Amino acid sequence: MKIGIGLPTSLEGTAGEDVVGWAVQAEAAGFSTLGTIDRLLHTSWEPLTTLAAAAAVTERIGLATSILISPLRSNTALLAKQAATVDRLSGGRLTLGLAVGSRPDDFEAGRIEKTGRGARTGTQVAELRRHWADAQAGREPAVGPAPVRQNGPELILGGHSPAALRRAARLGDGWIGGGTGPMMFAQGAQSLRELWTEEGREGAPRLVALAYFALGGDATKHTEGYLRSYYRDAGPFVEHILRGAADSAGKLRGIVGKYAEAGCDELLLMPCSRDLDQVTAAAEVLGLRG
């Protein structure tokens, strides 16, 4: 299983130099991918803009929106251009993770209708691929630039509902589970594999997950503070998220092991602290090599 790490762009007070330093350090430490999460009404940074900056200071590490709320980007042609631009900037390192979003206030702020967002996401996936194919084939007029990767950036779709899993099996290159813990991930992954077969898809879907972490003497304070803020409108669900967060070296190793047992292809460790030492601490705990 590959181990990636999230950029600290949803943490209060993060500066540009923090993100750049984090990206450089993560590549040097041996992490597989840099991830970003997405909200509109939050201090979190815009994912594709952030990954463009990370692309400029790295050479090998993957870049992933994990996830990006695609219905909030109602101009799909512009989204195709933005994603293809990051893909070219990075030499084909972009994975575009998409999900429908669930927070009503994000849709209210964006003046986007929340109802029907699942169907719209399916339409967006088809449109993204059409724009990328036209650009790569040199058809005119086309929304460019052409992505580096054949057929465009890898597309993985998120969500745990039956409809979301079916959409991922039908339209995606794989599925990404949120930070809900190894057990819920294992259940979703098994359903996704079965649906993948039902849809007549060849090969195997790529399975990705998120896990929250912080290390060091103030780890519990950081996980509690950040997750209670980020999930403040999620009701009792925040307690489930907190139980699954790794706030010690032993718990981090245990969670990583459980995701590996569940068949996860890549686990992205999302930080609850923006301290740059978190990158090297996590790499050392997991025995990564640059």
Give alpha helix (H) positions in 43-178: 47-57, 76-89, 104-110, 117-137, 162-171
The band of 44, judged by pLDDT with boundaries at 50, 70 and 90, is very high
Number of Cβ within 10 Å of residue 237's Cβ equals: 11
The pLDDT of residue 112 is 94
Q: What tokens does 60 get?
A: 């090998």
Q: Is the pLDDT of residue 235 over 90?
A: no
Mean pLDDT of 144-156: 96
Q: Is the pLDDT of residue 178 over 90?
A: no
Mean pLDDT of 257-265: 97
Instruction: Please give the single-letter amino acid code of residue 148.
Output: V
User: What predicted TM-score, i.e. pTM, was given to this entire model?
Assistant: 0.96
The band of 290, judged by pLDDT with boundaries at 50, 70 and 90, is confident
Mean pLDDT for the chain? 96
The pLDDT of residue 190 is 97
Counting residues of the chain whose pLDDT is more than 70, the rounded percentage is 100
The pLDDT of residue 10 is 96
The band of 232, judged by pLDDT with boundaries at 50, 70 and 90, is confident
What's the CA gap between 159 and 175, in Å, rounded? 8
Mean pLDDT of 244-273: 97
Mean pLDDT of 42-65: 97
Nearest to 269 by CA among 12, 32, 5, 63: 5
What's the CA gap between 143 and 48, in Å, rounded? 17
Instruction: Please give the single-letter amino acid code of residue 154.
Output: E
What phi-psi label fits residue 245: left (phi over 0), alpha (psi between -120 and 50 degrees) or beta? beta
Mean pLDDT of 227-253: 91
The backbone torsions φ and ψ at residue 155, rounded to the nearest 5 degrees and listed phi first, read: -115, 115
Query: In 3-state terms, the chain is what percent helix, strand and coil (to 5)?
Result: 50, 15, 35
Contact 191, 165 (CB under 8 A): yes
Q: Is the pLDDT of residue 234 over 80?
A: no
- CB-based contacts of 20, cutoff 8 Å, min separation 6: 53, 54, 57
109-130 per-residue burial string, b: 16 or more CB within 10 A, e: under 16: ebebeeeebbebbbebbeebbb
The pLDDT of residue 275 is 96
Positive/negative CA dihedral, 165, 171, 173, 176: negative
Query: Using one digit for the tens of pLDDT, what is the confidence trace for 81-90?
Result: 999 999 999 9
